[in-house]
Structure 1
Amino acid sequence: MQSILQYRRIGLAVKNQLQRDEEKRAATFTSNLGEKPVQQPLPAPQSEAARIALGRALTGILARNRTVPDGGDPRVFVVGWEGKNDPMNPKTLSTAARVRATIIISAIAFVVTAASAIDTAILPQAAAEFGVSQVVESIATGIYLAGFAAGSVFAGPFSETFGRNIVYLVAMIIFMVFVMASALAPNIGAQLTFRFLAGVFGSTPLTCAGGTISDLWGPLEKTYSFPIFAVGGFAGPALGPVIGSYIGVGNIGTWRWTEWITLIMAALVLVIIIFFQIETYPPLLLKWKAQHLRKLTGDDRFRAELEVTESTLWTRLRTSMARPFLFIQEPIIMCITLYLTVLYIVLFTFLDGYTYIFGETYGIGQGLTNVIFAGMFVGMAFISFLVPWVYRKTKNELESNRTETGSHIDPEVRLWYAMLAAPTIPISLFWMGWTANPSISIWSPIIASVFFGYGAICIFVSAYLYIIDSYEIYAASALTFVTVIRYLFAAGMTVVGIPFYRNMGVHWTLTIMACISTLLTPIPYILYRYGHVIRRRSKYAMSNKQ
């Protein structure tokens, strides 16, 4: 709905632009013919000379040549924005409109990531109905994450061909179909198949969200806009078990209601997308503008860059499937991938591990054990207290660089969120591992989970912003690589989580994870100090430091 209205608004804006530039076009045309300027409005240009004059007179239009294999007119008028304040440019929308669009994307991410974790809340009930062990049933979570990894390779190219909104809409509808199929699954094989396919189509916001935020926000504004997205997106795995906490326990439905609730949430978000979400992909918006210009002027040479370039969907798909794995040679990407992978392994093994950390240790029920995941979300919300300070730090960096070398932000400034939180990860894991004891208050490991949530979201935000700023045009491929690797490893570890906690025990399982995270803690500090040196030696990274 919003996309349709947006298309019409662009049409009205094009009409207004033609009227505003009418006098300029008339003056250019009559000057070329040696005539006196005509004062009254001119009709749409009919002669070739008049059309060329119009194409050159319109603001934001670039006349250039192109190679046309089919023998068409090699001259095109490439359509761009009227200027920095073009009202059709997503970056010029009001802050309220851009925040709304960001929150909607965050809501999509919340639903699809909550779906990855909500099934763990009813693991015993689903396993009993299908006649399998809880380890086998836990594959339903792991296979969903594997679907995330597979789908992330395809979502980006489709959004860069057809636009963000249509991909969000179609992917959400198909996601809902497979969630419903999971709810109706007659056996474990059907459930795993449908969960995998739901994960494939649920991966869309995880891949496209970074692009949407880049469409809407400038470099400085991302300091506070990206955390808005991240809190919702990262909260899904933490609040999924909370949502499903008492389902299947007592008289509150069967385990299948976890899927039905996911379906209801997805339907609500789908309605919000239809009625409120705007299209943000600039090349597509310029394509719409070019279509209106062709219709109003009768000149087929008005083209958007998306229509001029000879990059097909298949070409983009081949690139998206091949290029991400070239980043295995990038030290920055490998360090960040390793860091995020460990975080996701810890996060998703918690989905099984909370039963041992809290349920068996303190003798509380299945429902309350899952409610305790809310503590992690509280920690994630604490990032909001860092935003004003990091924003000022980033603004000062921008002003300093504008004075000395132009207007840009060195990517290393994006690491402040991580540097202010990295130590909390090993601290929280050691704390939780060695205070989860019946003789110690249950509030001690709960508070530790708050610190873990705070550290995890800060590292996630820094990692994404740092990659986006460091790799710019290659950022989508770099983020795809990070997404695929972390979800594949998290998928595998989700399945082995139960045996790990059962055989190693809570203390040693969390101690091992804490030790590994301790070894990774220096990464943001090392990148802050030496990142600019590494980027200068990189084939794909952008080097801003002089």
Structure 2
Amino acid sequence: MSTQRTLESQSITSGDYVSAEESIRTASVTDFEDALEGSHSNLPDDDGTETLQGDKTVNGDTESNTDHEPSNDSETTTEDVESGKRTIENTPLQPSRSNDEELDYHGSEEKGFFGNINDFSQIASRSRTNNLRLTRTETQGFHDELSRVITSASRKKITEEEEGAVDPSTLDWDSPDDPDNPTNWSPRKKWFSTMTVAFLCLVVSLGSSLYVCGVPDLMLEMGISQELGFAGLSLYLLGLSVGPIIAAPLSELIGRRPIYIVTLPLSMLFTMGVGLSPNIWTILVLRFFSGASASPCLAVASGSIVDVFLPNDVGLAMALFCLAPFMGPVLGPIIGGFVAENKGWKWTLWVNLMFAGALLPFVLMLPETYAPVILKKRAKSRQIKLQKPQVGLLKFLMIMLSITLVKPLQMLVVEPIVIVFSIYISFVFAILFGFFEAYPVIFRGVYRMSLGISGLTFIGIGVGLFLGTIFYLLLNARCFYKKHDDGFVGMKDKDGNPLPPTPESRLLSGKYGALALPVSLFWLAWTSRESIHWIVPVLAGVPFGFSLILIFFTVVTYFSMSYPPLSLASALAANNLARYTIAAAFPLFTVQMYDKLGIDWATSLFAFVAIGLVPVPWIFEYYGESLRKRSKFGFDAEQKEDSSMA
């Protein structure tokens, strides 16, 4: 049987986040448990028929949904379960990938000011109706795809003891208004969960730059070189890159909440160990484990957000969440400079512990948001007998590690889209961490600022990050999701015809970021001198922060619209791994580069590289579609694989 591939909802993952990281982030890679919601969609029904999303099979005959007029109403079916009844809401029709790789949409859609879908966790499942209804969370596309992989890997037969047991993947909510469903929580509860995990990511990223402020004092106390002192930052960043590889599979088994509750106190213990260390070698080892133990939240947090918001509500929440991991490194020098100047390097770590400790009670109050875990726990409380997992723990972890580690490494080698965009965002991200060394050279060396005052110069970058986020949301509302006079919401061509959303259409924000980046770097390079007021190079940070966040949003959006859920999780994991690994290297040579080349030419060197990367959005606008069609990880490849298996 053949059917058109439905574009499912996806999320940021693995690590950023995403991160989101998650997914980021997170499409997140953090969205599975042995009970997979929707996994029965591609499995034979009890009567031997097979139900595929987008088609209906009745008595062995396939009836394609696309042959009928779309209905505005959802169909509701009631199934008997041992404990009673459960109601499943079937969203009418989904957009399907057509031959020219564009989404076919019919009708219009009512959206909020910030757009119906967070572009950086596209693409949500939609119904092809006059008033589109979005009833699936962003993580369900990942669930369905992973369920297919797990099912194909399983060869386990149901034993006689399990014949009367319920498959955990078929568990569903009692009704569309089930209060246990995270999407039905009150706005207050949703935003409490969202802001808690966002601040958690901010505290984790804050730990990277707070330490840097204490390096000068650490050098004097322990008699070490500057490079060795900054190695503590590099090892922390390496820890942030590897943590999500382990956290993602665990979150699929035990849910989101245990990850937060365990990893935050663990990272606090390692941070305390750094402050109590008697030598630099102990500091370096503990800094790595501090980053590795803190990083799981970057992979899981984006999943927590899309668990509670439907696609039409998630845009603003995800934008604020993505801003948090970037604001942490910027706030570090602003706070840490005064702390290190007045109290010494150890107090930068104690302040980090204070932030984490203040957040800990809110983390402990976090509710579980992952639907399969909630449903399974509720089923057990109702004395429903559940089948054992079809795949053993070891097999499951192997599958997840292939998604979060093996496949990302492969994509970084053979996939042009992932290679180029990962290099691009990694370069910009690495410059941010290089500024931790460059800014003191400029503002303490040239303008004779104190350690504390020089940290305030990062405010310019922070302002740019906020402006970039606002600009992106406005671009969504005024361009990508503009509401026209005829009620249609979306993009139209000059003749007034609706334009289907494509990955290339979302490169617009990246073009602005690509142009702003070299401008900011040349601005900083040639205004950092005593004859020019210090506010001028400080203001150069505004377009830098603006470009950083816009390029990040663009990269994640393009990935999200180019790959199916499992490949998306791997692409975001590859991006996260490359971003933190490259960023870890920059602090080790930035000071030497500025000493040898001078402030003007060292910063100009970054600017020249940025100029070389400016054409990237335009190149992908022209060649992106052909690259996606040739990709062995994209929708075309997946459709061919499904056709060959049909």
Q: Pick the TM interval, shorter chain.
A: 0.7 to 0.9
Do the aligned residues in 2 keep the contact of 1:415 with 1:466 (CA within 8 Å)?
yes
Kindly state the Cα deviation for residue 418 of structure 1 after the two structures are TM-superposed: 2.4
The range that moved more, 368-377 or 390-399, is 390-399
Match of 1:232 in 2: 324
Secondary structure of the equivalent of 1:364?
A: coil
Measure, in 2, the Cα distance between the counterparts of 1:80 and 1:66.
25
Do the aligned residues in 2 keep the contact of 1:60 with 1:79 (CA within 8 Å)?
no
Distance 1:440 1:61, change over 3 A: closer
Match of 1:362 in 2: 447
Match of 1:510 in 2: 603
Q: TM-score, normalised by structure 1?
A: 0.81
2:367 is aligned with 1:278: yes
The range that moved more, 74-83 or 329-338, is 74-83
Distance 1:92 1:396, change over 3 A: farther
Distance 1:436 1:216, change over 3 A: same
Match of 1:333 in 2: 418
Match of 1:144 in 2: 236
2:434 to 349, 353, 359: 349
2:480 is aligned with 1:421: no
Kindly state the Cα deviation for residue 372 of structure 1 after the two structures are TM-superposed: 0.9
1:464 to 552, 556, 581: 556
Secondary structure of the equivalent of 1:439?
A: coil
Measure, in 1, the Cα distance between the counterparts of 2:405 and 2:306.
22
Measure, in 2, the Cα distance between the counterparts of 1:213 and 1:408.
27
Counterpart of 1:318, as a letter, is L
Distance 1:117 1:400, change over 3 A: closer
Distance 1:100 1:497, change over 3 A: same
Do the aligned residues in 2 keep the contact of 1:68 with 1:74 (CA within 8 Å)?
no
Distance 1:522 1:356, change over 3 A: same
Greater relative CO, 1 or 2 (CA 8 Å, sep 6+): 2
Measure, in 1, the Cα distance between the counterparts of 2:534 and 2:575.
35
Distance 1:85 1:519, change over 3 A: farther
Distance 1:84 1:59, change over 3 A: closer
Kindly state the Cα deviation for residue 67 of structure 1 after the two structures are TM-superposed: 4.6
Match of 2:87 in 1: 59
Distance 1:377 1:61, change over 3 A: closer
Measure, in 2, the Cα distance between the counterparts of 1:217 and 1:417.
24
After superposition, what is the alpha-carbon deviation per residue over 1:462-488, rounded to whole angstroms, capped at 9, x for unaligned?
Answer: 222332343323322221111111111
1:322 to 401, 406, 409: 406
2:585 is aligned with 1:492: yes
The range that moved more, 98-107 or 117-126, is 98-107
Match of 1:116 in 2: 208
2:548 is aligned with 1:520: no
After superposition, what is the alpha-carbon deviation per residue over 1:355-390, rounded to whole angstroms, capped at 9, x for unaligned?
Answer: 112211112122211121122111111134321331
Kindly state the Cα deviation for residue 424 of structure 1 after the two structures are TM-superposed: 1.0
Distance 1:414 1:169, change over 3 A: farther
Measure, in 2, the Cα distance between the counterparts of 1:428 and 1:259.
32
Paired residues for 1:284-323 under 5 Å: 284-293=373-382, 295=383, 299-301=384-386, 307=389, 312=394, 313-319=396-402, 320-323=404-407
2:288 is aligned with 1:196: yes
Match of 1:162 in 2: 254
Kindly state the Cα deviation for residue 336 of structure 1 after the two structures are TM-superposed: 1.5
The range that moved more, 453-462 or 253-262, is 453-462
2:263 to 161, 171, 186: 171
Secondary structure of the equivalent of 1:247?
A: helix
Kindly state the Cα deviation for residue 95 of structure 1 after the two structures are TM-superposed: 4.0
Measure, in 2, the Cα distance between the counterparts of 1:396 and 1:310.
48
| Structure richer in helix, relative to its length | 1
Distance 1:442 1:121, change over 3 A: same
After superposition, what is the alpha-carbon deviation per residue over 1:148-186, rounded to whole angstroms, capped at 9, x for unaligned?
Answer: 122121121111111111111211111000000001111
**Unaligned residue ranges in structure 2 (runs of 5+):** 1-78, 91-150, 493-497, 640-646
Distance 1:316 1:496, change over 3 A: same
Q: TM-score, normalised by structure 2?
A: 0.69
Distance 1:356 1:66, change over 3 A: closer
Kindly state the Cα deviation for residue 436 of structure 1 after the two structures are TM-superposed: 0.7
2:352 is aligned with 1:259: no
After superposition, what is the alpha-carbon deviation per residue over 1:285-335, rounded to whole angstroms, capped at 9, x for unaligned?
Answer: 222232234x1xxx414x6xx945556553345323322212122222112
Do the aligned residues in 2 keep the contact of 1:375 with 1:449 (CA within 8 Å)?
yes
The range that moved more, 221-230 or 189-198, is 221-230
Measure, in 2, the Cα distance between the counterparts of 1:129 and 1:99.
44
Match of 2:303 in 1: 211
After superposition, what is the alpha-carbon deviation per residue over 1:110-157, rounded to whole angstroms, capped at 9, x for unaligned?
Answer: 111111111111221011111111121111111111111221211211
Kindly state the Cα deviation for residue 237 of structure 1 after the two structures are TM-superposed: 0.8
Distance 1:53 1:221, change over 3 A: closer
Do the aligned residues in 2 keep the contact of 1:241 with 1:370 (CA within 8 Å)?
yes
Measure, in 1, the Cα distance between the counterparts of 2:501 and 2:367.
28
2:571 is aligned with 1:478: yes
2:530 is aligned with 1:438: yes
Which of structures 1 and 2 has the bigger CA Rg? 1
Do the aligned residues in 2 keep the contact of 1:379 with 1:449 (CA within 8 Å)?
yes
Kindly state the Cα deviation for residue 530 of structure 1 after the two structures are TM-superposed: 4.1
Counterpart of 1:512, as a letter, is L
> What is the RMSD computed on CA atoms of the aligned residues?
3.1
Distance 1:119 1:400, change over 3 A: closer
Counterpart of 2:253, as a letter, is T
Kindly state the Cα deviation for residue 524 of structure 1 after the two structures are TM-superposed: 2.9
1:540 to 625, 633, 637: 633
The range that moved more, 374-383 or 457-466, is 457-466
Secondary structure of the equivalent of 1:205?
A: helix
Secondary structure of the equivalent of 1:80?
A: coil
After superposition, what is the alpha-carbon deviation per residue over 1:239-291, rounded to whole angstroms, capped at 9, x for unaligned?
Answer: 11111111232xx212100000001111112211112x232222212222322
Measure, in 2, the Cα distance between the counterparts of 1:516 and 1:286.
51
Match of 2:464 in 1: 379
Distance 1:494 1:259, change over 3 A: same
The range that moved more, 203-212 or 164-173, is 203-212
Kindly state the Cα deviation for residue 234 of structure 1 after the two structures are TM-superposed: 0.7
Measure, in 1, the Cα distance between the counterparts of 2:499 and 2:84.
30
Distance 1:284 1:535, change over 3 A: farther
Counterpart of 1:523, as a letter, is V
Kindly state the Cα deviation for residue 202 of structure 1 after the two structures are TM-superposed: 1.6
2:182 is aligned with 1:93: no
Match of 1:13 in 2: none
Measure, in 1, the Cα distance between the counterparts of 2:621 and 2:353.
42
Percent of residue pairs bearing the same amino acid type: 28
Measure, in 2, the Cα distance between the counterparts of 1:61 and 1:428.
51
